[in-house]
Each structure stands twice: as structure tokens, then as C-alpha cells.
Amino acid sequence: MHQIEPYYNWLNYYDSSEDPESPFYGKEYNYDLYSENIYGYFIDPGWDYMGSETLYIKILYTNYDEGVTIIEMLGEWNDALNNDIMHFKRNVIEYLNMKGIDKFILIGENILNFHGSDDCYYEEWMEELDDGWIVAINFRDFVIAEMSHYNVDAFINFGGTFDILNWRTYAPMKLYALISEIMNKRLSAPTGY
């Protein structure tokens, strides 16, 4: 686990610890000390604690003019035992939403498991976005299946065209433009009977 690092190549575009509007503003990172862990396995010091013992995040990019943020995730998303969605919603999402963020891109290739509960926090999150959206890219198929079992897919857009394996080759606004275009097509597509 300690070898899984958050994506650092966008630091020249954005650094959440230097953004006065970020929930992680002012955080100092000690890359010589591995202190955070998930189930006893140390994780890279670059990940940010947001209230959960099993789910860590890294805000890779935020653009307040466009109202978008890109968040990479690590660990086990456990709503059943740790109520991770509550911590994520209350400590990160609501904070960003108050700053005008209504489009969320979640990168989940390092989400290793999901344990669901109910969909109340997801529903609340979606209701607060007005014209915004939530997109999850590169989540593992079994994680998507489990999230769908708990109706999370009614609020978060998963899979298919959102499996963007080469997302690291894009600049952040190019990735946002690609996802925004896919979302616009999805939202404007005629619905079936």
C-alpha cells in the first residue's frame, strides 16, 4: 500500500495545501514519515485523511470558475462500518460545494473494496448540486457492481465511457472537458420507454 502514491504530476496546476479555499489548506507533508495506515498497512504520506480510517483522498485539481474538482481515492470505501460517505460528504464535499464546486470527478482505480449501507448521503449530495454532476472514473467492475447494488449508481455516473485508463496523459482541464462532453451527451440523450 505504501507504494501507491497520489498523482503528483498536476502539482504545477494545483496544490490543495496552497489553496486557501481547500479543506487541506496549510497542510504540511512529511514524506520521510509514514504515519497513516489502512488496516495496518502504511500508505504514502501524500494522501489526505478526511475522517475515515479506511478511505483516503487527494484533491488533484480544483477550478472554481468552472466549478469542478478532481479527487483521487485510496482504500476501502466502507459505508457499512465506518460511514465513509458521511465523512467524505461532511468534511470535503460540503466544504467544496460551499465554494461553488458542483462537478465532481472521482478517480477510483485504487478503491479496493466497497461495503454499502443506504443511499441517503449520495441522494443528499446529488440534490445539492443543482445542474452539477458526479462522475467516477476507473472504478473496478466489482466495486461498481456493489455500489449499484446499493443504488449509488442513481447518483454517481460510472463505467463505460468513464473508464479512462489514460487519464494521466491529460492536463486537468482537458480531462474535465472530455468528461463534461460525455456527461452532456448522456444528459441530452433521449430516454427509453
Rg (CA), the chain: 16
- How many residues are present in the chain? 193
What is the residue-averaged pLDDT of the chain?
93
Per-residue pLDDT tens over the stretch 47-98: 999 999 999 999 999 999 999 999 999 999 999 998 999 999 999 999 999 9
* Residue 107 · residue 138 · CB < 8 Å: yes
Reported as a single tens digit per residue, the pLDDT across 103-135 is: 999 999 999 999 999 889 999 999 999 889 999
CB-CB contact of 79 with 87 (8 Å): no
What's the per-residue H, E or C state across the chain? CCCCCCCCCCCCCCCHHHCCCCCCCCCCCCCCCCCCEECCEECCCCCEECCCCCEEEEEEEEECCCCEEEEEEEEEEECCCCCHHHHHHHHHHHHHHHCCCCEEEEEEEEEEEEECCCCHHHHHHHHCCCCCEEEEECCCHHHHHHHHHCCHHHCCECCHHHCCCCHHHCCHHHHHHHHHHHHHHHHHCCCCC
d(CA 119, CA 77): 13
The answer to whether residues 92 and 57 touch, using CB atoms and an 8 Å cutoff, is: yes
The pLDDT value given to residue 185: 85
Q: Given this model, what pLDDT does residue 68 score? A: 98
Residue 193 has pLDDT above 60, yes or no: no
Question: Has residue 1 got a pLDDT over 70?
Answer: no
Check whether 26 has a pLDDT greater than 90: yes
**What pTM did the predictor assign?**
0.94
Q: State the pLDDT at residue 147.
A: 95
The bridge status of strand 55-63 relative to strand 68-78 is antiparallel
Return the pLDDT at 160.
83
pLDDT band at 192; cut points 50, 70, 90? low
Percent of the chain scoring above 70 in pLDDT: 97
